[in-house]
Structure 1
Amino acid sequence: MKKWIVVLLCILIIVIWQSIFTYKSAQDYLTNQHKKAISAAKGVESIMEVTDISTYHGTSSYSIIYSILSDDSERIICVPNKDNLEIITIDPEEGISKEEAIEIVRNNRNPLSILSVTIGVEQNVPIWEITYLDQQERYSYYYVTFKDGTFIKRYSL
């Protein structure tokens, strides 16, 4: 009986160790991607401060950098995580707001709840990705252009 307890304890320790290692590796990769993206963005804009950074996973993966420039204006810089795509700079004043994107979804889809709203890029076009629960309680995604809120696509899981 003691032999089985020792074997199970060893297996448990190995599983926990591998889980921690896998989580840490994923976090390190994301941190490195964000550092590279900030460095690339600084080559395009005169960034004074990075206020937030996130990752958009669409057709292509982008690091989305929310920043304040040297002239105190805000910019959202979308840096592709592949080298063959261009960096896209967005002036938040030149598009619809997060609240306007939410309102478009509320008016067109009548969601149970809005789960998240993120900036992204699809085919070199800045977009809003709105994730929500639909009337059948399915996770749903609604995409509109950042510039004017034009519908792009939607789907549900």
Structure 2
Amino acid sequence: MRKQNSQYTVHSWIKWVLLGLILIVISCLTYLFFLYSDIQDNRTLKYQDSKDAVIEKTSVSQIENITEYNGKNQFHVIFGSTNEGANKIVFVPLNENSGKLTTFNQAEIISQQEIKNSWAKQCEDCELIDITPAIENSEPLWEVTYIDDSNRYIFDYLSMFDGTRVQQYRLKSIFN
């Protein structure tokens, strides 16, 4: 009997291990893709319900944009306009117990761009992350998130009507 050459045994073993690893990696990537898709679908699942409620219950006839705000309560924030051309912001509560929509006329509030300009003058060495609409206790706010010159992550809540600070959270990074 002839013994099989060990060189061929090693090559065969390495080939099967590599093939198995490649299949595991492909399976994991496929799983992660479908998990990500499912999470994204669930995140925007109720957008259509909120859009329908705004069209039905308010004077808004055209919806331009929809975002989310997660504070004490969760809201969909809808930017839209009426048939007369008035621009509105509508806060749609996602809490089952609170079905009341809160609507504000954009002509009566400080614009996002004005808030950004004012912030840039006050905080020259800061890095702006985002400016989003928020609402707390039925008061419309701008949530300005940024990193200040001390490397703190700041949540600044400013009134949409006059730009005054309502609340501010400063988070200091402990890992750098």
TM-score bucket (shorter structure): 0.7 to 0.9
Quote how far apart the aligned CAs of 1:29 are: 1.5
Answer whether contact 1:132 1:140 (CA < 8 A) is retained.
Answer: yes
Does 1:115 pair with 2:119? Answer: no
Provide the secondary structure at the position in 1 that maps to 2:110.
coil
Which structure has more RCO (C-alpha within 8 Å, separation ≥ 6)? 1
Q: For 2:159 and 2:28, how far apart are their aligned partners in 1?
A: 44
Q: For 2:33 and 2:73, how far apart are their aligned partners in 1?
A: 28
AA in 2 matched with 1:151: R
Answer whether contact 1:111 1:132 (CA < 8 A) is retained.
Answer: no
What is the RMSD of the two structures over their aligned residues, measured on CA atoms? 1.9
Does 1:22 pair with 2:35? Answer: yes
Provide the secondary structure at the position in 1 that maps to 2:149.
coil
Aligned to 1:155: 169
What is the TM-score with the length of structure 1 in the denominator? Answer: 0.88
Aligned to 1:4: 17
In structure 2, list runs of 5 or more residues that go unmatched. Answer: 1-13, 172-176
Q: For 2:25 and 2:135, how far apart are their aligned partners in 1?
A: 42
Does 1:143 pair with 2:157? Answer: yes
Answer whether contact 1:63 1:81 (CA < 8 A) is retained.
Answer: yes
Question: Mapping of 1:1-157 within 5 angstroms?
Answer: 1-85=14-98, 86-106=100-120, 109-157=123-171
What is the TM-score with the length of structure 2 in the denominator? Answer: 0.79
Q: For 2:46 and 2:139, how far apart are their aligned partners in 1?
A: 21
Answer whether contact 2:81 2:88 (CA < 8 A) is retained.
Answer: yes
AA in 2 matched with 1:65: I
Quote how far apart the aligned CAs of 1:59 are: 2.1
AA in 2 matched with 1:43: E
Q: How many residues align?
A: 157
Identity %: 25
Quote how far apart the aligned CAs of 1:110 are: 4.8
Quote how far apart the aligned CAs of 1:108 are: 5.0
Provide the secondary structure at the position in 2 that maps to 1:32.
coil
Larger Cα-atom Rg = 2
Provide the secondary structure at the position in 1 that maps to 2:44.
helix
Q: For 1:103 and 1:72, how far apart are their aligned partners in 2?
A: 26
